[in-house]
Amino acid sequence: MSTPIPQPPGVPLLGNIFDVDPANTWWSLKTLAEKYGEIFSITALGHRIVFVASAALAEEICDEKRFRKFVGGPVVEIRYAVHDALFTAFDHEESWGIAHRIIAPQLSTEAVGGHFDAFLQCTDELLAKWHGLGDNNKIQPLSDLNRLNLEATTLTLFGKKLNCIEGADHPMLAAMENSTSEAMKRPTRPGFLNWLVYGSKFKKATKVMRAYAADLVKYRQEHPTDQHDLLWSMLNAKDPETGKALTESQVIDEIVSMPIGSSTAPCAVTASILFLLQNPDVLAKAREEVDAVLGEGPFRQEHVPQLTYIAGVVRETLRLSSAAPGFNIEPIPKEGDKSPILLAGGKYQVAHNQAMIIVLPGVNRDPAVFEEPLAFRPERMIGEAFEKLPSSAKKWFGNGKRECIGKHWAWEFLVITTAKLIRDLDFEAVDPDYKLKQDGWFNIRPIDFSVKVKPRAR
């Protein structure tokens, strides 16, 4: 006989809507995972959702022979802005395969490595800004790292310099936050409220994001280049299987999707700063490696794979910060078969069409996999120790064919930015007793975390 899946008590009609804070959904789910363990469920407005928070169960439901990405809830809502783009396409939609085959070659390890100089240029602009702050500064690093991410995404993928690291915030930053936060909240409200009260916010944010993308297309048309970057491929390449190209609307969909997807990267770098401040021994080892590999000379692309300890710092940050906090899974439908889906060898069972969400803050802290799971230990993310980890403990970029298409871009950004910050800057926590607190929508980020920054004392 199967074991009932734990669930908070809830209230009549409304279910568990008071157990999940719509303004901080992922922190609520992290808290529920800590209380209920490897699997739990909630109901909201009559809909049941099952959450998986252990490495073993995550491993099982990441089996692409039995399960697939579930496009529902907030992901369906964001289709208003980006339609059937890579992140939001349903499994049956042809558009996903067409876009993937056109875009993926431009986001391979080799292709991304070709943007090293552009990454470095953007990062150096941020460092110059921070060097010029003077001695009595106090900053929340996430704000400027979000600017850096938008600048680097736009330059490396779409070939245009935004110059948004200085000056007022680029409107795309607020629009991304407003659209994704609203997409997370809309499934928790009655539909008429979304239309009557909150619809204008969603529409305004979408208009701003699509204007950003349309401006990039127009800029390329007015400033043609022989550089065959991602934007060139989206505007000119054809799918090798179907011969189809992307429409202009689809190009705009994918342009909008890219900075939303890459917005997890500045969240992770901000968390790295926090973890390194809390672990000065780790910072010392990281600096020793950076100084040995880079020396006093220029940072070059060939240095990136040599920074093995920095790679461990990045992976351990992705584990503990869960900057991309989870993803949705559903059983692959079997025609005429509505029998329950058995998990953990029959210990649990769910309906044949039950949506499940992997809660990475639970999976990534699973004590069955990680000794002292709350400790920041880059050594466990290097070499043989890393290779021995189950694949479910490495799902920072999602799973299978629907994992993040920009994972190599994200890795380049994270390693370059982390190495440069360690090499060139000293940070001091404004509040030495600060404890990690996160909020966020399609990403989660440290909040109320402030530092003082100055050029590194050598």
Q: Which residues are annotated as a binding site for heme?
A: 404
| H/E run at residue 251 | helix 248-262
C-alpha 113/C-alpha 99 separation (Å) is 21
The CA-atom distances, in angstroms, between 5 and each of 32, 350, 356 are: 13, 9, 12
**Burial (CB count within 10 angstroms: exposed 0-12, middle 13-18, buried 19+), residue 179:** buried
- List binding-site positions: 404
CB-CB neighbours of 204 under 10 Å:
14
* C-alpha 259: how far from chain center: 10
| Token pair recorded at residue 126 | 């941020």
Contact 419, 290 (CB under 8 A): yes
Contact 249, 83 (CB under 8 A): yes
What phi-psi label fits residue 83: left (phi over 0), alpha (psi between -120 and 50 degrees) or beta? Answer: left
Alpha helices (H) in 37-140, listed in sequence order: 55-61, 74-77, 79-82, 94-103, 109-113, 116-131
Query: What torsion do the CA atoms of 284, 289, 295, 297 make, to the nearest 10 degrees?
Result: -110
C-alpha 411/C-alpha 344 separation (Å) is 33
User: Tokens 């439901």 identify what position?
Assistant: 61
**Burial (CB count within 10 angstroms: exposed 0-12, middle 13-18, buried 19+), residue 59:** middle
**Burial (CB count within 10 angstroms: exposed 0-12, middle 13-18, buried 19+), residue 118:** middle
